[in-house]
Amino acid sequence: LYFLMSNSYPNVIHTHVQRQYQNLKNYCAASTKQSYEIEKVILATSQ
């Protein structure tokens, strides 16, 4: 944990974390959209 607090790394780590977070957000958005589509299909076929 010490090296996280040293001044040479925070920027690199911060950028990496931000990228990971962005990927996660995109992934969640995509799968939410997907499950919404699937739900629509299921609703349409069950009626």
Question: Which tens digit of pLDDT belongs to each residue from 1-47?
Answer: 555 556 666 677 678 888 888 888 988 888 898 888 988 988 899 87
Side-chain half-sphere exposure of 3, counting CA atoms within 13 A = 3
pTM (predicted TM-score): 0.53
Side-chain half-sphere exposure of 5, counting CA atoms within 13 A = 2
Q: What pLDDT, on the 0 to 100 scale, is given for residue 28?
A: 86
Q: Has residue 2 been placed in a domain?
A: no
Q: Has residue 22 been placed in a domain?
A: yes
| CB contact burial 16-45 (16+ within 10 A = b; e otherwise) | eeeeeeeeeeeeeeeeeeeeeeeeeeeeee
Range of the domain at 13: 8-46
| Domains: count for the chain | 1
Helix H or strand E encompassing 17: helix 10-46
Q: What pLDDT, on the 0 to 100 scale, is given for residue 15?
A: 82
Q: How many Å apart are CA 30 and CA 24, to the nearest integer?
A: 10
Q: What pLDDT, on the 0 to 100 scale, is given for residue 16?
A: 80
